[in-house]
Amino acid sequence: MTAMAAAPHVHPLSSASSPAVYPTLMHAAATAPTIKLNVGGTYFETTKATLLQHELSFFHDLLLTTPTRQDGAYFLDLDPKAFTHVMDFLRYGELCVEGLNSWERRKLAKTMGFLKLHTIAQHAWNPFAESALAAAGNSLPAE
């Protein structure tokens, strides 16, 4: 039996991919409408599509309203450090809790619950999830 060489992993936006793909994706990202969020005094900016990926989340209700702040941002009275993990989850599809102590994990779970991202929040509250998180490299994939 002959061993098959593993095919090299090529990132979709690397130079080995189609040259027409990268400019098209860059144009789409540059022209997508963005949403500004003021989270506890820290500003985040992302696309509407990123915020609306999870049905029935808080963001669906939020974006039905018009921002009332002069800078055009929606204000959320949440912890910006915890919200950074929320944005990573929305962008990359995984919730990484590596390096967070138990208090920070609880704050993140409460933040996820408030934002109606319940499937992830329930894992963070589960006391038996600690070993599962460690086995998964301290991250949970989107469900």
The answer to whether residue 77 is domain-embedded is yes
Number of structural domains (the chain) is 1
pLDDT of residue 31: 66
Cβ of 39: how many Cβ atoms within 10 Å? 22
Per-residue pLDDT for 18 more than 70? no
The answer to whether residue 104 is domain-embedded is yes
Q: Please write the tens of the pLDDT for every residue from 75-131.
A: 999 999 999 999 999 999 888 888 999 999 999 999 999 999 975 545 554 555 555
Q: Please write the tens of the pLDDT for every residue from 73-82.
A: 999 999 999 9
Choose between 20 and 73: higher pLDDT. 73
The answer to whether residue 71 is domain-embedded is yes
Determine what percent of the chain falls in helix, strand and coil, rounding each to the nearest 5.
Answer: 45, 15, 45
The residue range of the domain holding 133 is 33-141
Strand partners, 141: 94
| Helix or strand holding residue 99 (H, E) | none
112: closest CA among 95, 91, 93, 128? 95
The answer to whether residue 17 is domain-embedded is no
**Average pLDDT in the 20-35 region?**
63
Strands of the sheet with 42-47, listed across from one edge: 42-47, 34-39, 74-76
DSSP state of 4: P
**Average pLDDT in the 37-62 region?**
95
The answer to whether residue 11 is domain-embedded is no
Q: How confident is the model at residue 12 (pLDDT cuts 50, 70, 90)?
A: very low
Sign of CA dihedral 80, 83, 87, 88: positive
The answer to whether residue 9 is domain-embedded is no
Instruction: Read off the CATH number of the domain in which 37 is found.
Output: 3.30.710.10
Per-residue pLDDT for 8 more than 90? no
Q: How confident is the model at residue 32 (pLDDT cuts 50, 70, 90)?
A: confident
The answer to whether residue 53 is domain-embedded is yes
The answer to whether residue 99 is domain-embedded is yes
